[in-house]
Amino acid sequence: MKQIATLSSLVGTLAVLFLFTGCSSVQTQALQAEDGEQRFLLQDFYHEPPQALESRSLASAAEDACPKGYDILLKQASKHAQFGQDHAQCASPGGCDFVLEWRIICAEKPEKKFSIFGKY
């Protein structure tokens, strides 16, 4: 009985650890800027048809790279072949893989107000 409780505790701990570490694949690369400003290339890898150029994981990485604020210079999705149109095409290996990229520049911006219900 004690082993079951220990095993249950271990599984719970691993689940919480996985939840907090997440499975994000965002890569952040500092770019050299001639004017001395901080610029970054953020990349996130997906295995699904592209839906939009918005990404909460890229926005979070941008906030980490530029805590005082940032401007987005470029948003693009790239792939070496044609983009997948629906989830059925994702069954084949590499069928729906693509990279979502943001190029950002650090800039002082006022902090955005946040409300769960959309009212301030």
- Please tell me the distance from the alpha carbon of residue 64 to that of residue 113, in angstroms, as a whole number: 18
- Please tell me the distance from the alpha carbon of residue 42 to that of residue 74, in angstroms, as a whole number: 10
What's the pTM value of the predicted model, to 2 decimals? 0.67
The per-residue pLDDT for 7 is 46
- Please tell me the distance from the alpha carbon of residue 55 to that of residue 114, in angstroms, as a whole number: 17
Strands (E), 1-116: 27-31, 39-47, 70-78, 97-106
Q: Tokens standing for 85?
A: 């149109």
The per-residue pLDDT for 34 is 78
Residues whose CB is less than 8 angstroms from the CB of residue 65 and which lie 6 or more positions away in sequence, other chains included: 28, 38, 40, 42, 104, 106
Q: Which of 98, 26, 88 is nearest to 58 (CA)?
A: 26
The per-residue pLDDT for 40 is 97
- Please tell me the distance from the alpha carbon of residue 59 to that of residue 55, in angstroms, as a whole number: 6
- Please tell me the distance from the alpha carbon of residue 112 to that of residue 16, in angstroms, as a whole number: 29
Q: What is the pLDDT along the chain (120 residues), one digit of tens a residue?
A: 555 545 455 555 544 444 444 455 899 999 987 788 899 999 999 888 888 899 999 999 999 999 999 999 999 998 877 776 766 767 767 678 889 999 999 999 887 777 777 665
